[in-house]
Each structure stands twice: as C-alpha cells, then as structure tokens.
Amino acid sequence: MRLERNASLKPYNTFGLDVTAERLYHLESEMDVVEYLDDPQGYAKHTLLLGGGSNMLLAGNLKGSVARVAWSGRRVVEEGDGYVVVEAAAGENWHEFVQWTVDQGWGGLQNMSLIPGLVGTAPVQNVGAYGVETKDTLHSLRWMRWNDGEVEEFTNAECAFGYRESVFKGALKDQGVILSVQFRLTTRDHALLTHYGSVAEELAAAGQEPSLRSIADAVIAIRQSKLPNPAELGNSGSFFKNPTVEGSVAAALASEHPSLPQYPQADGRVKLAAGWLIEHAGWKGTRVGNAGMHAKQALVLVNYGGATAAELVGVATQVQADVFTRFGVSLEMEVNLIGR
C-alpha cells in the first residue's frame, strides 16, 4: 500500500484545485483496502474516499487520511441467450470500460461514453447521459462496510436508485466503499437510443446508421463539442441537477417561456433543463474572476486557471440565486462540496 504525506490532490480532481492531503493512501488492490482499514493512521483518521475526482469540489486542504480508489480489473461473469454479465473493479476508468464493452459488441452503456470518473462512483450518483442511467444495466455490486470490513452484495433494487441518487449517497453515505460493479449487457437486439439530445442529428451529419459504435462515437463528438476538457479547463461536467417540478409549475413556465425544454415524468412531475434556465438567467459564458459558467454549455462551472474553491462556490451560489429570482425554480448542486 503506497502512502504519500502532504500530498497535492491537484492531479486527482478535475477542477484542478491545488489542495493537499495530510496523508494520501493509494489503494491499488482490494487487499490494500483491508490494510487501510486496519492501519491506525489509515481509516482511523479517514477524511475522504477519492475516486476519479470528477464529481467534487475540494474546498480546502484536508487533514487526516485520504484513500484513493486505484484497483482495476474486468471479467466476464456470465453469458446467456442474448446477454452477458461483466464485472469491473471500482478503480476502472469509466470511459475506457464503456469503450471496451462497445468494442466487444455488448450493448447498454454506449450512450454514457466520455463521462469522467471511475466505475465505482457511477452507482453512487446513478450517473447517466442521453437517455440512459447506471441503474438501467447495473446487475449488482460488491460493497465493504468500514465499521467491520464485511463485504455485502447489493442487487439493483437494493441500491435504491433515483435521479442522481442511490442508497450510497443517502442512508449509507460514507459508511463503506464499492469494490466492484456488475453490468448485464445485451449481445444482440440492442436498444439503440438516438432520440435524446442531438444524437440522431450527429449520426445523420456523419452519415452513420445507429449501431453501438456509431452511437458511442456520436456521444463522444457531442460531448467534446460542448464540454471543456478538464485537462485544459478545470470542471466537473454538469454542476447542477436538472430540477423536477410539479406539473402545474411546469405549465405556468411553459406559457411564459415556450422554448424551455420539459421532460414529463411517470409521477406527473416534469423535469426541466437546468442549462436552459442558467443560460436564460444570463450566466452562459459569464466569468467572475477566475471562475464562471462555460460559454458552450451553461451547465458547466469552470476554473479558468487559478480559481479558488471560494470563487467557484461563489459563482455557483449566485447562479442558484439568479435562476430562482428569474424563474422561481431551485437548482441543486450535483457536485459534492468537500471540506465545507
């Protein structure tokens, strides 16, 4: 188990904030997780479990011990008539794993190409894009409790998935660590979803028929055209959740703002496009000091270089206030604020 003291976390968070950890443990195998749990300077002084660093904003230097998820591995667990169950270690890069499944001809994850982060963090947030969420293909996962080191298996239902929610973000938050995740994917008769966002338009522009690879490539192209590369411009992707409101509220907004995208939900409520709200509140491309909302995608908060956590949070807070003043809609941050 590798340990760094007074370690910079700049390489491990996509906002590129140069904060330090008093102790940084690199957990490169499941055995390292057990050792970290038993180490008197490890979990006993635990402050943060660090995945891909793509869904957090580190507000300051961290005392105690930070554990970085870094173990990897992939395997086929089961093959059946028209399906395959594959398992990936929590430390696998999400995008690379998705591309691997597409290359194998397995369907289900292609619409979630180029999402930053690790496999182990995908279920926590129930990440999703272009009409697909983690819950749609997750078969089960293995999770270790911090208090006694016991490993449990969770079925899809036991994960209690919701919109950018799960039991690991709710009742079991900070109580354990996901070790590996299994996905049930199709080997034929794939669901080729192209109606969400501009996927169909991208396929048409490229002269491509829908397939696992063409859809993955279309999603990658769309995301690259709209979202800044964290290596060049610090960001965490979508900073706010798309808000869900009562049908009557959505109807009132639609009468006043006909161009506002709305997505009716099964429970009668309506999901609104946060990016549209932010843009029409005047924040798209607006910069305050070293922080601001991206010029091509209003939903993305960016670090233009040298921004502090306080600057980033200040912009996010003002965006929330202005959207509420303009539309009466509350925006909830999708990104976790750490150390605040």
Same domain, 61 and 156: no
Q: Does residue 198 sit within a domain?
A: no
| Token representation of residue 203 | 């396929």
Q: Compute the distance between CA of residue 95 and CA of residue 110 in angstroms, rounded to an integer.
A: 10
How far CA 213 is from CA of 2, 81, 182, 185, 219, in Å, comes to 38, 22, 21, 15, 10
In this prediction the pTM is 0.87
Same domain, 78 and 131: yes
Same domain, 61 and 88: no
Q: With contact defined as beta carbons under 8 Å apart, do 90 and 180 qualify?
A: yes
Same domain, 44 and 14: yes
Looking at the annotation, which residues are catalytic? 164, 238, 334
In this prediction, residue 197 carries a pLDDT of 78
Q: Does residue 199 sit within a domain?
A: no
Same domain, 79 and 176: yes
In this prediction, residue 241 carries a pLDDT of 93
Number of domains in the chain: 3
Same domain, 62 and 89: no
Domain final residue, candidates 14, 39, 69:
69
**What's 165's domain CATH number?**
3.30.465.10
Domain that holds residue 125: 74-186
**pLDDT of the chain along its 340 residues, tens only?**
999 999 999 999 999 999 999 999 999 999 999 999 999 999 999 999 999 998 899 989 999 999 999 999 999 999 999 999 999 999 999 999 999 999 999 999 999 999 989 999 999 999 999 999 999 999 999 999 999 999 999 999 999 999 889 999 999 999 999 999 999 999 999 999 998 878 999 999 999 999 999 999 999 999 999 889 998 999 998 999 999 999 999 999 999 999 999 999 999 999 999 999 999 999 999 999 999 999 999 999 999 999 999 999 999 999 999 999 999 999 999 998 987 6
Domain final residue, candidates 15, 44, 69:
69
In this prediction, residue 227 carries a pLDDT of 87
DSSP label at 247? H
In 3D, which of 42, 39, 46 has the Cα closest to residue 62?
46
Q: Does residue 191 sit within a domain?
A: no
In this prediction, residue 208 carries a pLDDT of 94
CA 123 to chain centre: 9
**What's 298's domain CATH number?**
3.90.78.10
Domain final residue, candidates 16, 43, 69:
69
Q: Compute the distance between CA of residue 196 and CA of residue 218 in angstroms, rounded to an integer.
A: 12
In this prediction, residue 146 carries a pLDDT of 96
